[in-house]
């Protein structure tokens, strides 16, 4: 079949879980004999559409000016140059089906174009953006987990805080109508999707509880690409090594791990990996909290991530928001590494407490320190947790199941051409 992936941003300009997943799935579908392509928006001056081919997969990059936070939000209401570029890509590729990975910064009109042409689409719920304009369910005015829109007044306050105008919060109700229009566009787009895919049961349940059609929503965990060559874990005699790998951002909770680690008695090392560029002030704060046993590795390539995992004993995922899946936790499991994670969101579903890792209250520095101390004080704990690790779904297995979703979507939508080999 011919599947076009629609994503808000893509490699090499942006590297994140959604982008990596999209690339891996597109490549795996191509290797399985399907025709697959990718369309995304690039942030760049001017307007244009560029087509390139990566590993046999055509990739269309459209741009219509640099994308600001305000522009990323307003794009949902319309962006004619991007709409025209997408129409050209659809004409060129002629997909049977479009897999919407993310629509942030893209106009809802793209999906109306698909409906006009009777091209079904499926949507993967990589985060909470379809309901929360922040995507992560964290308030901009307090950094607290949000339960969702309350007549969109709280969303208005979030928008003001994001613009640095939290002192104007009494004006939040005036923004509610605009946010309500956005919500209607989003819900219509999801209601008209052929299928909705949630990477975890938590994500499925949360969205269904907020009005998404449960009969269309199914759980399919992301597949994990096996490293090539395979990772060979080192067995050198070294102190306990804890890794924290990912974005250096407040909501990732890296500061919690650094503070907790500094309370750990006994020989140990903490390796912190992540680019400092997005939030240099936060990175500087982390360095101020860290002692000499903490190593900052900077941003890592995919090969370097696997090399890092090969040399550590346990992975820490201290997120303060509702992770939807956690790619890095599953990658750790793939190489047999236990995970210590926040008992929050999908992480509480991914990590089985005292089986393949430990679950800790989010943000509780004392509890995190106690979890680290257990690894030092209980010599058998780490080996027992390693023995409990089970390999996650690999990419070939995932794509096989994903093709089943595509085929059901095509059949249920009555797509006239049907799936093509």
pLDDT band at 166 (very low <50, low <70, confident <90, very high): confident
Q: Please indicate, yes or no, whether residues 205 and 83 belong to a single structural domain of this protein.
A: yes
Report how far residue 90's alpha carbon sits from residue 88's, in angstroms, rounded to the nearest whole number.
Answer: 5
Report how far residue 317's alpha carbon sits from residue 357's, in angstroms, rounded to the nearest whole number.
Answer: 11
Burial 168-188 (b: 16+ CB within 10 A, else e): ebeebeebbebbeebbebbbe
Q: Please indicate, yes or no, whether residues 102 and 21 belong to a single structural domain of this protein.
A: yes
pLDDT at residue 421 in the model: 43
Alpha helix (H) ranges present in 274-394? Answer: 280-289, 302-309, 327-334, 347-350, 365-377, 381-388
Number of compact structural domains in the chain: 2
- The pairing of strands 44-54 and 57-65 is antiparallel
Q: Domain containing 346: what range?
A: 240-388
pLDDT at residue 32 in the model: 94
Cα–Cα distances (Å) from 290 to 315, 319, 371, in that order, read 18, 18, 18
Report the CATH number that the domain containing residue 76 is assigned in CATH. 3.40.50.2000
**pLDDT tens digits, residue range 29-48?**
999 999 999 999 999 999 99
pLDDT band at 384 (very low <50, low <70, confident <90, very high): very high
Q: Please indicate, yes or no, whether residues 192 and 283 belong to a single structural domain of this protein.
A: no
> Is 378 among the domain residues?
yes
Q: Please indicate, yes or no, whether residues 207 and 101 belong to a single structural domain of this protein.
A: yes
DSSP string, 206-268: HHHHTT--GGGEEE-PPPBPPPSSPP--------EEEEEES---GGGTHHHHHHHHTT--SSE
Inter-residue long-range contacts of 365-370, CB under 8 Å, 24+ positions, other chains counted: 365/256, 365/259, 365/260, 365/263, 366/260, 366/263, 368/256, 368/257, 368/259, 368/260, 368/316, 368/318, 368/340, 369/259, 369/260, 369/261, 369/263, 369/264
pLDDT at residue 164 in the model: 84
Query: In the predicted model, what is the mean pLDDT of the chain?
Result: 93
> Is 153 among the domain residues?
no
Region of 118 please: left (phi>0), alpha (psi -120 to 50) or beta: left
Q: Please indicate, yes or no, whether residues 254 and 382 belong to a single structural domain of this protein.
A: yes
Q: Please indicate, yes or no, whether residues 258 and 198 belong to a single structural domain of this protein.
A: no
- Evaluate if residue 141 carries a pLDDT over 60: yes
> Is 244 among the domain residues?
yes
226 and 31 in contact (C-beta within 8 Å)?
A: no
Q: Please indicate, yes or no, whether residues 219 and 82 belong to a single structural domain of this protein.
A: yes
Cα–Cα distances (Å) from 295 to 26, 44, 286, 292, 314, in that order, read 35, 35, 11, 8, 15
- Evaluate if residue 185 carries a pLDDT over 60: yes
Q: What phi, psi does 353 have (nearest 5°)?
A: -60, 130
**pLDDT tens digits, residue range 327-373?**
999 999 999 999 999 999 999 999 999 999 999 999 999 999 999 99
Q: Please indicate, yes or no, whether residues 118 and 13 belong to a single structural domain of this protein.
A: yes
Poorest-pLDDT segment among 160-169, 208-217, 233-242: 233-242
In sequence order, the β-bridge partners of residue 241 are 269
Residue of 287, 307, 180 whose CA lies nearest to 243: 307
Q: Please indicate, yes or no, whether residues 336 and 196 belong to a single structural domain of this protein.
A: no
Query: Residue range 311-320: average pLDDT?
Result: 97
> Is 161 among the domain residues?
no
Report how far residue 42's alpha carbon sits from residue 7's, in angstroms, rounded to the nearest whole number.
Answer: 10
Based on C-alpha coordinates, what's the Rg of the chain? 22
Q: Please indicate, yes or no, whether residues 251 and 211 belong to a single structural domain of this protein.
A: no
> Is 282 among the domain residues?
yes
Q: Name the percent of the chain lying above pLDDT 70.
A: 98
Q: Please indicate, yes or no, whether residues 135 and 47 belong to a single structural domain of this protein.
A: yes
Q: Please indicate, yes or no, whether residues 95 and 68 belong to a single structural domain of this protein.
A: yes
Tokens representing 98 are 């479009």
Query: Residue range 135-142: average pLDDT?
Result: 90
> Is 168 among the domain residues?
no
In sequence order, the β-bridge partners of residue 36 are 3
Query: Residue range 254-269: average pLDDT?
Result: 97
Query: Residue range 60-76: average pLDDT?
Result: 91
pLDDT at residue 69 in the model: 83
pLDDT at residue 234 in the model: 67
> Is 146 among the domain residues?
no
In degrees to the nearest 10, what's the CA dihedral of 315, 318, 319, 323? 40
Tokens representing 121 are 């689409």
Q: Which residues contact 13 (CB under 8 A, 6 or more apart)?
A: 42, 43
pLDDT at residue 113 in the model: 96
> Is 348 among the domain residues?
yes
pLDDT at residue 418 in the model: 46
Angle at CA of residue 346, ends 76 and 215, nearest 5°: 65
pLDDT at residue 235 in the model: 63
- Evaluate if residue 264 carries a pLDDT over 60: yes
pLDDT at residue 254 in the model: 97
Tokens representing 294 are 């903490």
- Evaluate if residue 79 carries a pLDDT over 60: yes
3-state secondary structure 82-121: HHHHHHHHHHHHCCCEEEECCCCCCCCHHHHHHHHCCCCE
């Amino acid at each position: 079949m011919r599947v076009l992936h629609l994503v808000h941003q893509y490699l090499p300009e942006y590297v994140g879980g959604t982008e990596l997943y999209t690339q891996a799935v597109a490549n795996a579908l191509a290797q399985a004999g399907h025709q697959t392509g990718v369309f995304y928006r690039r942030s760049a001056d001017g307007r244009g559409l560029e087509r390139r081919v990566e590993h046999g997969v055509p990739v269309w990059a459209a741009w219509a000016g640099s994308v600001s936070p305000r522009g990323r939000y307003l794009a949902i209401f319309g962006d004619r140059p991007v709409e025209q570029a997408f129409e050209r890509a659809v004409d060129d590729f002629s997909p049977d089906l479009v897999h919407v990975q993310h629509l942030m910064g893209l106009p809802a009109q793209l999906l109306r174009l698909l409906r006009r042409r009777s091209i079904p689409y499926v949507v993967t719920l990589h985060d909470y953006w379809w309901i929360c304009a922040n995507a992560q369910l964290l308030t901009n005015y307090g950094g607290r987990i949000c339960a969702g829109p309350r007549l969109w007044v709280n969303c208005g306050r979030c928008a003001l805080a994001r613009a640095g105008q939290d002192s104007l919060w009494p004006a939040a109700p005036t923004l509610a109508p605009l946010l309500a229009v956005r919500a209607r566009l989003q819900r219509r787009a999801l209601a008209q999707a052929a299928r909705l895919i949630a990477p975890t049961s938590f994500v499925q349940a949360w969205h269904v509880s907020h009005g998404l059609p449960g009969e269309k929503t199914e759980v399919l965990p992301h597949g994990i690409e096996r490293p090539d060559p395979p990772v060979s874990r080192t067995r050198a005699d070294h102190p306990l090594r804890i890794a924290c790998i990912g974005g250096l951002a407040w909501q990732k909770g890296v500061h919690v791990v650094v503070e907790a680690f500094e309370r750990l008695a006994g020989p140990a090392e903490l390796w912190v990996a992540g680019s400092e560029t997005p939030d240099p002030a936060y990175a500087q704060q982390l360095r101020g909290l860290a002692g000499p046993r903490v190593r900052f590795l900077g941003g890592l390539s995919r090969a370097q991530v696997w090399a890092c995992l090969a040399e550590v004993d346990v992975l820490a995922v201290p997120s303060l928001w509702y992770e939807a899946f956690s790619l890095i936790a599953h990658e750790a499991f793939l190489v047999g590494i236990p995970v210590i994670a926040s008992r929050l969101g999908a992480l509480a579903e991914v990590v089985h407490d005292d089986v393949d890792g430990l679950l800790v209250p989010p943000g509780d520095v004392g509890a995190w320190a106690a979890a680290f101390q257990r690894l030092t004080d209980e010599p058998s704990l780490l080996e027992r947790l390693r023995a409990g690790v089970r390999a996650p779904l690999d990419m070939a297995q995932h794509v096989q199941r994903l093709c089943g979703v595509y085929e059901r979507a095509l059949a249920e939508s009555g797509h006239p051409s049907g799936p093509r080999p």
